[in-house]
Structure 1
Amino acid sequence: MNINYIVGIVGAFGIFLLGCVLGINIGPDAAAAGLKLFTFTPKNLWNFFDAASIFITIGCTLFIVAASFPGSMLKAMPKHFKIILNNKLFDPKGYIEQLVELAQIARKNGLLSLEEKANEQSDPFFKQAIMLIVDANDQDKVRGILENDIECMSARHEDAAALYDKASSVAPAFGMVGTLVGLINMLKSMNLSDGGGASSLGTSMGTALITTLYGCLLAHMVFGPVAQLLRGRDSEEVLCKQIIVEGVMAIQAGENPKSLRERLLTYMSQKQREMGGEGAASGEAK
């Protein structure tokens, strides 16, 4: 479970809500009036709620995103959140150990003996990589196929992250649109000839500005972190697949298992090696 994401999002919303109701009384005037350092006014939360603003900001953002991307990608959104919340789908150290084991088997019994191990793999990419060398394909051909697979996967991941980038960019824009709608309605209905409209000017202006607030919250507390995490997961998965490519190439070339382990470990940071590969997991975001 990605605790950092949960703590970060919950903490950000918590601080925002606290800021809405918290008053900090500092200065000589506050001391003279005998005010407490901290005051809480929960009813202030209602100042930040407006149904029409929510309708405009969230509704327009979602429909523009739906208009900009294919339905298959929209259906995959629940999977995206599952990916960013899961930290243990990919383990670089685990792949290295498997590759070293395969190298030992290949040196002892030949490449054809790896076919059984390939069928045991749950990772389709790893299975494909092993079968390509079992079938005695040319090294350049094997590397080309696998690297092309990685590039196409990374492109799909970037498309998924771009969905949330789009939402992050249009949410503040429609927040501003909602503000303009509120200002137009306020000015159209305002009547200052008899002083009747001046008393409600502050309230109307506050309501008009709420949509901008909602747009900023959506962009920076909801969509922005998801896009960043999806790109992080992509980097982690690409790393694991690069390890697989280098590993199977070395196995095909007959490299010593001990040398193979040392070479593949260079793809990981020292901290990852000490942690056994934890923290470098990902899942494919399609």
Structure 2
Amino acid sequence: MDIMSILGLLMAVILVLFGIMFDTNTMKVVLGNLNAFISYPSLAITVGGTIGVMMLSFPASSFRKIGKHLKIVFRPKKFDPGESIRQIVELATEARMKGLLSLEDKLMDIDDPFLYNSLMLVVDSVDLEKVRGVMETELEQFDERHALDRSFYEKAASYAPAFGMIGTLVGLVLMLGNMNDVNSLAAGMATALITTFYGSLMANVICLPIASKLKVRHDEEFLCKQLIMEGVLAIQEGENPKFIEEKLYKLLPAGQKLKLDQSRQMPEDEEPVKGRKAKKQKKEK
């Protein structure tokens, strides 16, 4: 469960509601203030209009992926570059000691389809450049597929404020057409203002954050796939496992390198403390 995504969404919604309901004169929360922000015509124009043009812009398959995308945002699969490097180094060591064909016995223990398919090509003695071409093509398709998924929410984020403006124009027309009717004037003004509010809220609290978080998840997975590609190609070339480890390590962003260093290295004072304890015990004996 991604706590940051859940807390971020709750914070955004709660603070907006707080701003609506909090009365600075009485310093109290007034629930009745919410009534001024509920307008069914505005919801119909903004939300309904956005969904309508999204149906016009994207196929049904894009809508079926919404549940999957929400799961990626709130309950993501973990992609650990350090684990990818460790796995590649183990495979490189096995291939160095027993040959590339020995990797066939390791295939059943591999869950990652990208790594599995790549190693199958290596075990089948496919030419190095062909293996590189296949892996690069798969990475390109992977990148394009995820970019298309993100564009679904980015388009929705651009359509929602636009329909908010359409609602504003509708409200102004209604208001100006009934200047003598006070009730119609108030209703038209409410529709004019609230549609803009709904459009901005839909774009900035729902659509853009989802697109942004999908990009973060994509970058995490893409990095691991890049490490796998470079590692598999290095294994096929017969490079030293230590050299492969350093090569893959240098591909990591600075933040990932720092995390990996902290997990690999022992605290500086841990060893000396153990040494002092051992010496003290020896003297007591």
Shorter chain as normaliser: what TM range? 0.7 to 0.9
Q: Does 1:249 align with 2:228?
A: no
Q: Which amino acid aligns with 2:211?
A: A
How far did residue 120 of structure 1 move? 2.8
The 5 A counterparts of 1:101-250 are 101-191=90-180, 197-198=181-182, 201-202=185-186, 204-250=188-234
Deviation track 1:50-82 (CA, whole Å, cap 9, x = no partner) reads 111112111111111111111112211111111
Q: Does 1:21 align with 2:21?
A: yes
For the structure 1 residues 153 and 249, does the alpha-carbon distance in structure 2 shift closer, same or farther, using more than 3 Å as the test? same
Larger fraction in helix: 2
Aligned to 1:284: none
Aligned to 1:272: 259
Contact conserved, 2:156 with 2:203, CA < 8 A, in 1? yes
In 2, Cα distance between equivalents of 1:15 and 1:131: 53
Q: Residue 261 of structure 1: SS of its match in structure 2?
A: helix
Q: Which amino acid aligns with 2:175?
A: M
Q: Which amino acid aligns with 2:166?
A: V
Structure 1 counterpart of 2:89, from 77, 92, 100: 100
In 2, Cα distance between equivalents of 1:276 and 1:219: 39
Greater relative contact order, per chain length (Cα 8 Å cut-off, separation 6+):
1
Contact conserved, 1:93 with 1:276, CA < 8 A, in 2? no
Aligned to 2:7: 7
Contact conserved, 2:175 with 2:186, CA < 8 A, in 1? no
Deviation track 1:82-137 (CA, whole Å, cap 9, x = no partner) reads 11223443221111111111111111111111112223322211101111111112
How far did residue 251 of structure 1 move? 0.9
TM-score computed with the length of structure 2 as normaliser: 0.86
For the structure 1 residues 145 and 276, does the alpha-carbon distance in structure 2 shift closer, same or farther, using more than 3 Å as the test? farther
Q: Which amino acid aligns with 1:21?
A: M
In 1, Cα distance between equivalents of 2:95 and 2:179: 83
How far did residue 186 of structure 1 move? 2.6
Q: Which amino acid aligns with 2:142?
A: M
Q: Residue 110 of structure 2: SS of its match in structure 1?
A: coil
Greater mean alpha carbon deviation, residues 238-247 or residues 266-275: 266-275
Contact conserved, 2:5 with 2:74, CA < 8 A, in 1? yes
Deviation track 1:149-208 (CA, whole Å, cap 9, x = no partner) reads 1011100000000000110000011111112222222333332xxxxx347644541332
In 1, Cα distance between equivalents of 2:3 and 2:262: 17
Identity among equivalent positions (%) equals 44
Q: Residue 28 of structure 2: SS of its match in structure 1?
A: strand
How far did residue 214 of structure 1 move? 0.1
In 1, Cα distance between equivalents of 2:144 and 2:82: 25
In 2, Cα distance between equivalents of 1:2 and 1:276: 22
Contact conserved, 1:118 with 1:126, CA < 8 A, in 2? no
Aligned to 2:51: 62
Question: Gaps spanning 5+ residues in structure 1: where?
Answer: 26-35, 192-196, 278-286
- Provide the aligned C-alpha RMSD in A: 1.9
In 1, Cα distance between equivalents of 2:261 and 2:206: 33
Q: Which amino acid aligns with 1:137?
A: V
